[in-house]
Amino acid sequence: MDLFLSLLNMTVEASVPYLLITIGGVFVARAGVFNISMEGCTEFAAFAGILFTFVTGKIWVGVISSILLALFINFVFYIFTVKLNGNLSVVGTGINLMAACVPASLLSALFFTRSNLIATSIINPANMMYDVPILRSIPVLNDIFNRQTLITYITPFIVFGLIVVMYKTKFGIYVRVTGENPSAAQAVGIKTNRIKMYCLLISAFTCALAGLNLSVEKLGMYTINMSANRGFICLSAINCGRKEPGKACIYALIFGFVRALQTIINNFVPVAISSLLGIMPYVAIIVVLLIVEIPNARKNHLRCFRDLA
Amino acid sequence: MAKDKTNLNGIKRFISFGNIIIPLLLAFIIGSIFSILSRCNPFTLYGYIIKRAFFSVGGILNTLGYATPIIMTGIATAFSIKAGIFNMGIEGQVFVGAFASALAGYMIKGLPAFIHIPLCLLIGAVCGALYALVPGLLKAKLRINEVVTTVMMNSIATQVTGFLTQSYLGTGDAYAHTEFILESARLTKIISKYRCTTAIFIALVIWLIIYFVLKKTKFGYEIECIGRQWEFSDSVGMRVSRKVIIIFVLGGLIAGIAGATEIMGVNYNFVNTFSANPGIGWDGFYACILSASNPVGILIYSIVFGALRYGALAAQTWLGVPLDLINVIKSTLVLFSAIKLCSVYSEQIKSFFSRKKATKVAKQLQEE
């Protein structure tokens, strides 16, 4: 029972970055932009958060600069792809590749290490967890939801808020129209480019929060390749959920659960095998993608003539 | 009239030239900033890299040695990029191919070299191809986005091979590696001290074959069609899903050979870091993207990247410049090469030139 509760607790903790990246990515995907640079954006945000916290000694500077950097990166993505007509995949790959080497080279240039930057002298991860008084008295919920970080508590509000924005506001309609039929949207007078930019900025903000959650909140340190393919995992969550925010978030939760399962199982197996367990999330994704897509396999055999007949 | 045409051609050439030069300049500016941050004069660095990589026989051979796998991975990526498929799984396929050939290199005993070497290459190639078959099938049959699956497969490949070398197939030494491959499975080096092996000929043969296939055969033409408009190609009757699988498998085949030659020629055993940061698969990807999957361009960029790789390693030991610096330059190069600035502003450039011409004509008229 205890194990199960701690598994759920870990799930809540582990799915936060997935949920955040996914809900932002859904907006971008809905606006018709295929963005694979969420991975790089998250990585940069995680790095900037720790770097600026470490340099200035104040956490809020790190948080703000990390969000600003993420916004800047997605703005660059917007300029390069939408304005200057660059290939989406190439620009996205470029950003991802930069995220893989810029932190490493900056670390070795400034701090003479290549692997990590530890800021636990400024950030105490134990202090980042909040003990919510209401939850404390409820037995099961206390074990699952209490003593989580701030962003964990904000995440559900962000997710629900953005779902509401997507389906209940004018902006959400504009986003959906932009993705489904850009020329119709333009004909009605919607500035599609601007909508795309707003979506990318929303995605940047959520990616930044995810990155901050990974580095600043949970550990107080940055290690190379911290986002660990979370961007791609969320991309597949979005694809599985057919670009609908609610469904995509459920898939994100599933992936978070698998990640938590991996961490839990890790404690019970010898060290050698634990390195093998690292593939669990990736295998889970391929399996989930398969399960989701197999029912649609028939539809994919399209020949235009048959469609017309 | 004829003069007008040549002028237009000149502008076109200027634009395509600018498309190559501007990203290079921007990338080197950013690289310089990072190099100044690591307390090294950028010009010393670039000069040092060029000097080490090209101005001695050993340097050239080492450069070619580093370029060999990149040529293969680059051409393997070109196949799929031409068809509009972003196959990022070359790195994983390289790992699988290398691992398989490393195992075949010491497990199969008692064969003469002229059978053992092709056998190892074949095993590496087949394993790479099988590994590429998975995302290929997923893409062709289920339309699952290949970027996600291939990136996941990369992680799986590196982790599983790393796990196997650490636990069951390792030798129990301080650092994880498999047993050394037998003498009969090793490729000969051209000059024993330097990195370049006979694998360079394998790479060139593969390059020639693929060049021929892409330019001169029906299959190459179909690949290009699929890349432009796959719905159209499908309805015209090219079997797109079958072609997609073939493209993935061929890419995996070549990637597997690339990994195998790296083990059989250079490392002689499988270490999880044999495909050093950022990985030969990724270097091939860079080369392919930068040359817009043009085979000749891939050859040139592969040699440039081989030089950068060797030069960067030398610079790391002799100048203390971190290796990641070169990766920063490469990745910014990819980022900036995505936008064709001169093509975007081609109208402005054209009008700029024609205005210049107009003022010239006006001046001449005035003088007359």
Rounded Cα–Cα distance for residues B230 and B154 (Å):
26
Burial of B103 per CB tally in 10 Å (0-12, 13-18, 19+)? buried
Considering the domain architecture, whether residues B282 and B339 belong to the same structural domain is answered as no
Residue ending a domain, choose from B301, B334, B355: B301
Burial of A97 per CB tally in 10 Å (0-12, 13-18, 19+)? buried
Which of A277, A279, A305 to substitute to test the interface with B, most B CBs within 10 Å? Answer: A279
* Per-residue pLDDT tens digits for A113-140: 777 888 888 887 777 777 777 777 777 7
Rounded Cα–Cα distance for residues B299 and B306 (Å):
10
Considering the domain architecture, whether residues B182 and B287 belong to the same structural domain is answered as yes
Q: What is the DSSP letter of A112?
A: S
Mean pLDDT along residues B330-334: 86
Considering the domain architecture, whether residues B93 and B125 belong to the same structural domain is answered as yes
For residue B125, being part of any structural domain is answered with: yes
Q: Which residue in chain B is spatially nearest to A291 when comparing CA positions? A: B142
Q: Which two tokens stand for residue B337?
A: 């090469």
The contacts of residue A16 (CB under 8 Å, 6+ apart) are A149, A151, A152, A155, A210, A213, A256
Half-sphere exposure of B30 (CA within 13 A, CB side): 22
* Per-residue pLDDT tens digits for A201-223: 999 999 999 999 998 888 888 98
Burial of A267 per CB tally in 10 Å (0-12, 13-18, 19+)? exposed
Residues of B with CB below 8 A from A232's CB? 147-148, 151-152
- DSSP per-residue letters across B198-215: THHHHHHHHHHHHHHHHH
CB pairs under 8 A between A and B: 160
Question: CA of B206, closest CA in chain A: separation in Å?
Answer: 26
Closest in A87, A233, A296 to B338, CB measured: A87
Domain that holds residue B338: 11-38+322-347
Considering the domain architecture, whether residues B25 and B124 belong to the same structural domain is answered as no
Considering the domain architecture, whether residues B115 and B261 belong to the same structural domain is answered as yes
Rounded Cα–Cα distance for residues A213 and A211 (Å):
5
* Per-residue pLDDT tens digits for B187-207: 888 887 888 888 899 999 999
Residues of B with CB below 8 A from A98's CB? 328, 331-332, 335
Rounded Cα–Cα distance for residues A241 and B78 (Å):
31
Contact B166 A272 (CB under 8 A): yes
For residue B360, being part of any structural domain is answered with: no
Considering the domain architecture, whether residues B83 and B207 belong to the same structural domain is answered as yes
For residue B1, being part of any structural domain is answered with: no
Q: What is the DSSP letter of A221?
A: E
Q: Produce one character per residue of B257-267: b if its CB has 16 or more CB atoms within 10 Å, e if not.
A: bbbbbbbbbbb
Considering the domain architecture, whether residues B153 and B32 belong to the same structural domain is answered as no
Residues of A with CB below 8 A from B145's CB? 235-236, 239
Question: Phi, psi (5° rounding) for residue A116?
Answer: -150, 165
Predicted confidence at residue A150, as pLDDT, reads: 86
Place of tokens 């333009």: A186
**Dihedral of CA B321/B324/B326/B332: which sign?**
negative
Closest in A101, A239, A272 to B328, CB measured: A101
More confident: B20 or B90: B90
Contact A101 B324 (CB under 8 A): yes
Place of tokens 């490729």: B187
Residues of B with CB below 8 A from A235's CB? 145, 147-148
For residue B254, being part of any structural domain is answered with: yes
Predicted confidence at residue A302, as pLDDT, reads: 53
Considering the domain architecture, whether residues B295 and B326 belong to the same structural domain is answered as no
Tell me the pairing of strands A129-130 and A148-149. Answer: antiparallel
Tell me the pairing of strands A221-223 and A116-118. Answer: antiparallel
For residue B47, being part of any structural domain is answered with: no
For residue B286, being part of any structural domain is answered with: yes
Closest in B38, B156, B166 to A275, CB measured: B166
What domain count does chain B have? 2
Predicted confidence at residue B3, as pLDDT, reads: 53
Considering the domain architecture, whether residues B34 and B153 belong to the same structural domain is answered as no
* Per-residue pLDDT tens digits for B277-329: 678 888 888 888 888 888 898 999 899 888 888 888 888 888 777 778 888 88
For residue B63, being part of any structural domain is answered with: no
Q: Which residue type is seen at B111?
A: L
For residue B62, being part of any structural domain is answered with: no
Predicted confidence at residue B279, as pLDDT, reads: 81
Half-sphere exposure of B255 (CA within 13 A, CB side): 39
> With bands split at pLDDT 50, 70 and 90, how would you rate the model's confidence at B5?
low
Q: For the whole prediction, is pTM greater than 0.80? A: yes
ipTM surpassing 0.85:
no
Q: Which two tokens stand for residue B26?
A: 């921007």
Contact B147 A278 (CB under 8 A): no
Considering the domain architecture, whether residues B279 and B327 belong to the same structural domain is answered as no
Which of A73, A105, A274, A307 to substitute to test the interface with B, most B CBs within 10 Å? Answer: A105
Contact A97 B331 (CB under 8 A): yes
For chain A, which ranges sit under pLDDT 50? 304-309
Considering the domain architecture, whether residues B135 and B230 belong to the same structural domain is answered as yes
Considering the domain architecture, whether residues B288 and B165 belong to the same structural domain is answered as yes
Q: Beta-carbon neighbour count of residue B347 at 10 Å?
A: 9
